[in-house]
Amino acid sequence: MMPLELVGSDSMRYIMQTVGPILAAAILMGCDGEPQNGTTSTGITPQPSSPVVVSITSPEIAALSEPIFVTGTILARRSTNISPMVGGLIEEIYVNVGSRVEEGQPLLRMRQKDFEINVLRLSEAKRLAEAEYKDSVRDLENSIALREKQAFSVEQLDDRRTQVEVSAAKLGIASANLAEAQKELDDSITRAPYRGVITQRHVDEGAYVPSIMRSEHPVLQIQEIDVMVALVFVPEVYLTSIQLGTLGRVHIPSMNQTYESEVALINDRIDHKTRTIDVRLGIPNVDYAIKPGLFIEVELMPISRQGLMLSPNATMGLGSSRSVLVVEDGVVSQRTVQVRELSDGRLEILQGVSSNAILVVGPSMHKVSDGSRVTISEHPYVDS
């Protein structure tokens, strides 16, 4: 480079005119034109990124009916332990286990000779009481006639009236005793209290049994099974979900049979140990194919209610607290929602968004995040 002393005044003037503007521009570039973060400015304004195309869905209000699955046992509609009304020797038993009987049909007969003798004895006692009563009435009538003729005292007349009252009372007692004896004779034959089947027989002919008031062990057991009872114990949390008439489906695994039914009884008592409610459904059993004691699986179908439903493909996370991506004015915002998973895999929204919310769904959720700009896909999302 040539020293400045050797450069003439004309040459220096030329250099300053030529180089000066370039130096000034360089100085200005160094002070104001350098971009932030140390990058070199190109003089071109950067353009924002293009919106991401996403599929969307919205929660829908739908009728929600959650089935309640419980297990239980088949019971007879009625079950009665049979003992004779009167004690004595069993002379004949007309039925065996499995016998089908009608209401009023004889089941067993006690030895009747003793009862027949007692009826005969008390019949004669009643005849005697009737004769005494008639005799006292005649005496009273005669005494009244004599009293009118002043041939009978008042005291004697009162005695005759007392005798009539006493004889009338004796006749009443005799009549009651005879009726009781006749009733015992009738009760010596034990009859079926209702239409059913004999399910137990504990004694045979010749056994002596006490009366029903003293007996600790029954002679027979009868059950009404033309209509069976499906007994289940439902957790108390479902108390408000079921009512009389709630539909149910009773499945008997051992028979591979399913019966449609409905709730016929809800016990007012809750078992404080198991926190369950006694619920019963009826099942027709005309052919007696269903037996008491069978294990059952019952599906109760409560009345539907309105719920806000959402596909699991529109949520992130697991459990009751999940995240969703809400689209508002073309921008994504992440929110937390409270959900409850249903047995069919759908989610019920309990809190967080409303039915008109627009949510990102499906694979699109992996392309965006909170704050992303999006545009809606023209193709509707099909939930798999």
Residue 248 is assigned to a structural domain of this protein: yes
Single pTM value for the model: 0.62
What percent of the chain shows pLDDT beyond 90? 58
Question: Is residue 279's pLDDT more than 90?
Answer: yes
Residue 172 is assigned to a structural domain of this protein: yes
- 327 and 262, same structural domain? no
Give the residue carrying structure tokens 């009862």. Answer: 115
Determine the residue type at 107.
L
- 313 and 294, same structural domain? no
Q: How confident is the model at residue 90 (pLDDT cuts 50, 70, 90)?
A: very high
Residue 200 is assigned to a structural domain of this protein: no
- Position 151 scores a pLDDT of 63
Residue 229: CB atoms within 10 A of its CB come to 21
Q: How confident is the model at residue 215 (pLDDT cuts 50, 70, 90)?
A: low
What CATH number is attached to the domain comprising 334? 2.40.420.20
- 318 and 299, same structural domain? no
Residue 1 is assigned to a structural domain of this protein: no
- 372 and 352, same structural domain? yes
Q: Which domain, by its residues, includes 241?
A: 70-77+223-305
Give the residue carrying structure tokens 């009563």. Answer: 133
- 333 and 365, same structural domain? yes
247-252/295-301 β-pairing: antiparallel
Listed residues 271, 305, 339: the one ending a domain? 305
- Position 294 scores a pLDDT of 97
Q: Is residue 240 a contact partner of residue 215, using CB atoms and an 8 Å limit? A: no
Q: How far is CA 357 from CA 326, 338, 348, 353, 361, in A?
A: 7, 15, 15, 6, 12
Residue 10: CB atoms within 10 A of its CB come to 7
Residue 209 is assigned to a structural domain of this protein: no
- Position 380 scores a pLDDT of 81
Element spanning 22, H or E: helix 9-28
- 150 and 119, same structural domain? yes
Q: How confident is the model at residue 152 (pLDDT cuts 50, 70, 90)?
A: low
Listed residues 249, 273, 305: the one ending a domain? 305
Within 13 A of 281's CA, how many CA atoms are on the CB side?
Answer: 29
- 173 and 125, same structural domain? yes
pLDDT in tens, 234-246: 999 888 889 999 9
- 340 and 357, same structural domain? yes
Residue 13 is assigned to a structural domain of this protein: no
- 127 and 174, same structural domain? yes
| Domain count within the chain | 3
Cα–Cα distance measured from residue 83 to residue 265, given in angstroms and rounded to the nearest whole number: 30
Listed residues 271, 288, 305: the one ending a domain? 305
pLDDT in tens, 170-188: 999 999 999 999 999 999 9
Q: Quick one: average pLDDT of 236-257?
A: 93
Nearest one of 384, 362, 378, 224 to 290, comparing CA atoms: 224
User: What is the average pLDDT score of the chain?
Assistant: 85
- Give the phi and the psi of residue 6 in degrees, each rounded to 5: -85, -5
Cα–Cα distance measured from residue 358 to residue 377, given in angstroms and rounded to the nearest whole number: 13
Residue 119 is assigned to a structural domain of this protein: yes
Q: How far is CA 293 from CA 202, 270, 288, 334, in A?
A: 20, 22, 13, 55
Residue 183 is assigned to a structural domain of this protein: yes
- For residue 295, the cross-strand partners are 73
DSSP state string for 142-181? HHHHHHHTT-S-HHHHHHHHHHHHHHHHHHHHHHHHHHHH
Q: How confident is the model at residue 3 (pLDDT cuts 50, 70, 90)?
A: very low
- 312 and 292, same structural domain? no
Q: Quick one: average pLDDT of 354-369?
A: 90
